[in-house]
Amino acid sequence: HVAPLDAGLPKFPLRLRPWQEGDWFVPLGMNGKKKISDFLIDKKVPANLKAKTLVLVTDQSIAWIVGQRLDNRFKVTEKTEQVLEISLKRIS
């Protein structure tokens, strides 16, 4: 679970929270927005794992569906000057 983000784009503080109905993001490689519920259905994520899905939030935007997909608006490009690499590790 590692997310490389363009360090100049997210606004701090970053928050980690469970996804909520109505949440949306712009999937990496796409230009249009997509509801997270539709994304998880398309990925065939089982219902018991959907409830455990976390999102990384910056300001009012979702930058990363943890372990699934980055938001296209925060991706690293050739214009990126610094990369912010976020990694999450489950502690038992």
Q: How far apart are CA 42 and CA 51, in angstroms?
A: 15
Read off the tokens for 46. Answer: 């089982």
The answer on pLDDT for 91 being more than 90 is no
Q: What is the pLDDT of residues 23-58, one digit of tens each?
A: 999 999 999 999 999 999 999 999 999 999 999 999
pTM greater than the 0.85 cutoff: yes
The answer on pLDDT for 88 being more than 80 is yes
Phi, psi angle pair for 33, to nearest 5°: -85, 160
Token pair 């489950």 is found at 90
What does the mean pLDDT of the chain come to?
95
- Residue type at 2? V
The answer on pLDDT for 92 being more than 80 is no
Contact 65, 25 (CB under 8 A): yes
Please state, in angstroms and as integers, the Cα–Cα distance from residue 21 to each residue in 31, 45, 84, following that order: 21, 15, 28
